[in-house]
Chains A and B, each alone.
Chain A
Amino acid sequence: MRAMDPTAYYDAFSRSYDRRRRVGYHALVDDLEAELVARFAPRGLVLDAGCGTGQILERLGRAGIRACGVDLSSGMLRQARSRAPLLVRGDLVALPFGDGRFDAVCCFKVLAHVPEVGRALAELGRLVRPGGFLIAEFYNPHSVRGALWRLKRPGRIAAGVDERDIHLRFDAPAAARQLLPPGFEPVTARGIRLLTPFAQALRLPLVGPLLARAERVLADGTLAGLGSFYCLVAQREIR
């Protein structure tokens, strides 16, 4: 492990992050994540922890959901400014909000890169009101992406920076449930990218649309546990 400072990593990543994110694979992943949040928090206030360039926040805004974004990287937040009104720079393990302040807290493509994942989840859980939802995404080793990760060359992030420069962990669904903070019960899970072998496959004529359709159908089914991005929805108990 040669992880660099995450702020520097994501500041470097922010310059290219949105390139080709509007369509195809990345747009589908972002759509499926945002839809899940909208399903569990159609009203109220949502926190997107690790909001990056605001792709999820923009989708939530379009769905009429009030959402605040927090991120460690000022580079990422600069990109998010045109997409979302409520933005804060902050650290996942010491978030600047009071207890139970949000109806739902979501965290996508982030926890796999946080060394203190248990501490981060406890902090996210603290912010959820009783009866509210925590929606946390894990990278699943038992998946297409998990298998390919072990074979592929690390992707380039910016000049002199590649995917190996950030902390990375994979947690299988059962392990992910174990990581939930006390007082949270799993409600459901959505599996994202069950089939797509490589991102460009979703841009192929005929195959692309079929694949996207299949991903949508399978995301909430019994095979969700094989999704590359495993989104666990847990509800905070009401006391």
Chain B
Amino acid sequence: MLSSMITLAAAAGSSNLEWFKELVNRFSVPEISLPLFFLPLFVLLLVAYKVWTRPLFAGTLLVLFCVFYFGSMAIDENYRAIVMKPDNVPITMMLLGVGFCLWWGFRQAAINDERIKAGQPLIEEDKDDKVLVWPDLVYTELICMVIAATVLIVWSVLLPAPLESPANPAGPPNPSKAPWYFLGLQEMLVYFDPWMAGVVLPGMIITGLIAMPYIDTNPKGNGYYTFAQRKFAITVWLFGFLILWVVLIVFGTFLRGPNWNFFGPFQYWDAHLQVPLTNVNLSELFWGDLLDRPLPANPYVREIVGIVFVFLWICVLPYALARTVMRKMYEQLGSVRFYVMAIHLVVMAMLPLKMVLRWTMHLKYFVNLPEINLNL
């Protein structure tokens, strides 16, 4: 019923919206959409948080998003196939859920920041949200349990599990996609060696999360929402979570097609699409393009530029930050806390750096030492 209605609407709407689909397709490639759409959106989200979190404004944003997100299903069958695939239902839920949580947090922070400025008590001081374990908490948990079980049962009945034929080594699915929650990792793997993107970077996500309460000695924001008092912490956290995780999951879901090529959301997934992707290592750029010489035979001499760069980036950059722009923070945190934080920060920054260099300079690896299986 629903799908037939969508098909009808599709027949009516598809004729004169080709320009729109083409525009979205062209705009959605990451080298355009990330710097021109997602990053400005991220900056706006932080800068204008007192504006967009107003209920009327946020409600309008939600309606616009839903019109674009769900309305597009009516005008394009490729996009419809992606959104309605049972695998991808959690993506829709994730987008709405992340949006709601962001709105909720920033709304509370906006109110609190206004109150702090006016010298009024915080929201959290006005209300006592302590509850009794029995019966309040136990009943709430019981009700949540029943609702969650119901939702899972109905979901599993309505949307069959996307089981496929037995694995066949001679013909893997194309594209081979990870589960939706790992698509961010899979996207990272496009830019790094599996040892880096599969072990080191996820490991540093985990060690960073573990270290956070020990690094963060700032008591502000404990037990109440605020953005004005915790700008650096919230900005770095949200950059990692929204841009380097959620947006990458969205890319992996909507934009990655056969052969892991980029496709627009309204583009047909052509397995034989020719995409020029030839990429080169930093050593080839340095010795070949810059010095116009053949690659040295010794691999360590060959990769010296990359090795020096990575050393500077990971070891010297935190020190430089401590001496210059982050001097105040260094004095507040002390050297151990600061360097733990700064090393995690520069490693995190390597991901967007590598992505930008891949798109602009077709850079494959800073250091490419397959002789000893070390690639950065």
A binds B: no
Q: Which residues of B contact A (CB under 8 A)?
A: none
Mark A residues whose CB is within 8 Å of B.
Answer: none
